[in-house]
Amino acid sequence: MLSALLVMAGIAIVLGAVLGYSAIKFHVEGNPLVDKIDAILPQTQCGQCGYPGCRPYAAAIASGEADINLCPPGGEEGIHKLADLLGVEFKPFGGGTVLKPKAVAFIDENLCIGCTLCIQACPVDAIAGAAKQMHTIIASECTGCELCVSPCPVNCISMLPIVEKITTWKWKYPVYSLAPAK
Amino acid sequence: MRTLYQFNGGIHPPENKEQSTQRGITRAPLSSRLIIPFRQHAGEAAKPVVQAGDHVLKGQLIGMPCGLVSSAVHASTSGTITAIDMQPVAHPSGMPDLCATLIPDGKEEWLPHEAVDYRSSDSAELRQHLRMCGVVGLGGAVFPSDLKLRPLRGHPNKDIGTLILNGAECEPYITCDDMLMRERAAEIVQGAEMLRFMLDAGEVLIGIEDNKPQAITAMRQAVADSGLPFEVVVVPTIYPGGSAKQLIRMLTGLEVPSGKLPTEIGVQCFNVATVYSAYRALAHGEPLLSRIVTITGNVRLPQNLKVLLGTPVQDLVALGEALPDTNHYIMGGPMMGMELASTAVPLVKAGNCIIAASDKLFPPAPPALPCIRCSRCAQACPADLQPMDMFWFSQSREFDKAQQFSLFDCIECGACSYVCPSHIPLVQYFQFAKSEIRAREQDKQAADHARERHEFREYRIEREKQEKAGKLAAREQSIRQSQAAANSGIGPAIQPEIQAAIERARAQAASAEPRNTDNLTPQQRAEIAGVEARRERVRELAKSAVEHTNDHDKN
């Protein structure tokens, strides 16, 4: 009886030591799930989810604090991908969500006073300019987050929807007539 | 006799080639207006280097290649550029693209040009020459030819064992390569020798389908006359035997691996018309200004024309005399060509054929039925794919699964749609899925780029904060140090000096001239007092006025 207890206790101690050692040895820095979620998010850094950027939102989803349907730029497809990754049900956008077409910011250079407020607001450094110098958007870097629109004291920034060009044109889903069922 | 190999699949659609081979190639008359798009090749559009109002000579560069995958664009004849703007072009989207409008002066005045001695030139120079002559693949893909002559990156010493000239021309109706081989065989053979020299290829095979006996005879004769060790190989007529990968398979038995280039298995393939234009570029210094076009289908005079690039399709249709029941036009062949939104679009380098189509000639597809998984498409597929599965996943927008079924190995030949008993437009689904996948990849790249920039910005802000804090700390320390120094005994030594300086300043102030407000008469003082009082009153008034207007605004 005693020997059995001792053997079991011995096994428990050894296994516990192994577990404790591997917890330290194979410790993973950061949360890998956050990286996976962050890879799905569209990186507009717009803050429409209520978090100050895509990565904080990813961290909030990973910790179960935030829902998966808070990212309008990611679209429904983004929600599907998140749902697949996390193994949860798809959840449609809330009622107040406005889905906008992709856009880039545009500065009316005649009105710009060079205050640099938009430059400070831009999360991806897509605005070129300096104090008392005209600013301009580097369109290829703009994520369309709209964070520069409200700080502008002279309302010279507008969002221009991206128009389809011959180089960005996509084949459409085939539409054709089906034979009626007999 | 060479052993030929077979590829799986393929179809035998009615050829309809004899109609347009009854006459020789004729030159299309000069149009009154040419529209020359700056994007006539795969890759980046050329950058305009002329302005509206400029007079240009025939062969003058008007579009400079821009980026690695790009090619030059030239004025097809001499005349005046009247506009550089967006014009309708031949594109499945029907969208306009940047074009130069050229009003010919009818003089056909050439820019001076001269031959290149290819044997004594560097291979990189020759490639640059072809790029600046706008030579691109004329079989339909319009890929810049200079890039196909480049030594392979990663395998710089990989030899090209076989150069293949593609004269198969497998698609129904099209006969432009056939007629070119019949009439310009010697030049094609010379061009092949130039490309063989540039690639340092071992053997040269000229693959021609057995439905072109006259072209085969002409090419054999030209090879014999030139004394070059080239071989004209007759291949069986099967669609799509003229697709590069399938022709390579037939002639060499080698299969180009998925996602790889033919050069990686030591083979390179050029269309005969491309070889001809490379010959014109090297032996005469002429840029690519015209091409042979088949005008056929529902026309009274089906024929092949030598047409200047930029000629409006409607002028070509008029030359072929389209019959009244023609209701649409196709650029390219009936299998892979695209329907033109209008005939105002210009002929471009890719335009090998214009087919006038009527409902009698091409009856509209019957309504589609559901897929019954009969797998006839898989039997017809020349790329050994399973179109029924690719269709299933493209239809349900499960693109990653479609990609797992090697969607990107599909050459969009249309053999599957041709044999489908349910008349499903399979190729349209594949085109849709491919462009969706490409767009997604671009979005992903843009997102990664934005993430990188955002993270760098955060890092920069943090760094600036730390730098500021560091500077502040350093300054505080230096102040503390100087205070400590002032209190530590060095002070008394300079104290007398400071005292002396103060004394000097005082003395200077005392000796200064009196100001004009000193020593005033009582009358002057009274005047000043009056002025000050008035000023005060005005200030009061101004202040109350402002308050008043503010009140007014609020109300």
To the nearest whole angstrom, how far is the Cα of B434 from the nearest Cα of chain A? 8
Q: Give the class (CATH, top level) of B18-357.
A: alpha beta
pLDDT digits (tens, 9 = 90+) for A67-116: 899 999 988 889 999 999 999 998 888 877 788 888 999 999 899 999 99
A159/A110 same-domain check? yes
pLDDT of res. B376: 95
Per-residue pLDDT reduced to its tens digit, B270-284: 999 999 999 999 999
Please indicate, yes or no, if residue A39 is contained in any of the structural domains.
yes
CATH number at residue A107: 3.30.70.20
Q: What is the CA radius of gyration of chain A?
A: 26
Taking an 8 Å cut-off on Cβ atoms, the answer to whether A174 and B429 are in contact is: yes
Please, what is the average pLDDT of chain B? 91
Q: Which residues on chain B are in Cβ contact (under 8 Å) with A44?
A: 450
Closest Cα of chain A to B549: distance in Å?
24
Tell me what pLDDT residue B299 has: 93
CB contact under 8 A, B450 and A170: no
Residue A65 located in a structural domain? yes
What does the pLDDT average to over A133-148? 92
Q: In chain A, whose CA is at the least distance from the CA of B444?
A: A42
On whether ipTM exceeds 0.95, the answer is no
Search chain A and give the residue with CA nearest B87: A166
Contacts of B368 in chain A (CB under 8 A): 176-179
Which pLDDT does position B142 carry in this prediction? Answer: 93
Provide the domain count of chain A: 2
Match 């909030």 to its residue by tokens.
A60
The pLDDT of B3-25, averaged and rounded, is 92
**A18 within domain boundaries:** no
Cis status of the peptide bond prior to B240, with omega within 30 of 0: yes
**Domain around A40:** 32-86
Residues A76 and A112 in one domain: no
Residue of B nearest to A143 (CA): B450
CA distance B51 to A137: 28
Mean pLDDT of B328-338: 93
pLDDT of residue B404: 93
Write down the domain spans for chain B.
Answer: 18-357, 368-475
The answer to whether position A133 is within a domain reads: yes
Q: Is residue A143 part of a domain?
A: yes
Tell me if A38 is assigned to some domain. yes
| Pairwise CB contact (< 8 Å): A179 & B366 | yes
Does residue A14 form part of some domain? Answer: no
Q: Is residue B227's pLDDT more than 70?
A: yes
For residue A120, the distance in angstroms to the closest alpha carbon of chain B comes to 10
> For chain A, which residues lie within 8 Å of any Cβ of chain B, measuring from their own Cβ?
38, 41-45, 53-54, 123-126, 141, 143, 164-166, 168-174, 176-180
Asked if residue A160 and residue A110 are part of one domain, the reply reads yes
Q: How confident is the model at residue B512, as a pLDDT?
A: 72
Instruction: Encode pLDDT of B71-121 as tens digits.
Output: 999 999 999 999 999 999 999 998 999 999 999 999 899 999 889 998 898
Predicted confidence band of residue B431 (pLDDT cuts 50, 70, 90): very high
Whether residue A122 is found in the same domain as residue A76 = no
- Residue B72: predicted pLDDT: 95
Of B435, B439, B457, the CB nearest to A123: B457
pLDDT tens digits, B361-374: 999 888 999 999 99
* pLDDT value at residue B32: 94
Q: Is the pLDDT of residue B490 over 60?
A: no
Check CB contact under 8 Å for B368 and A165: no
Q: What is the pLDDT of residue B157?
A: 57
For the segment A161-175, the average pLDDT, to the nearest whole number, is: 89
CATH number assigned to the domain comprising residue A62: 1.10.15.40
- Rounded Cα–Cα distance for residues B314 and B344 (Å): 6
Closest-CA distance of chain B to residue A108, Å: 24
pLDDT of residue A182: 64
This prediction's pTM: 0.82
* Contact flag B457-A180 (C-beta cutoff 8 Å): no
Using CB atoms, pick whichever of A164, A174, A179 lies closest to residue B425: A174
Residue A20 lies in a domain: no
Is the CB of B428 less than 8 angstroms away from the CB of A171?
yes
Check whether residue A66 and residue A105 sit in a common domain: no
The candidate with the shortest Cα–Cα distance to B352, out of B112, B484, B166, B519, is B166
pLDDT of B225 reads: 94
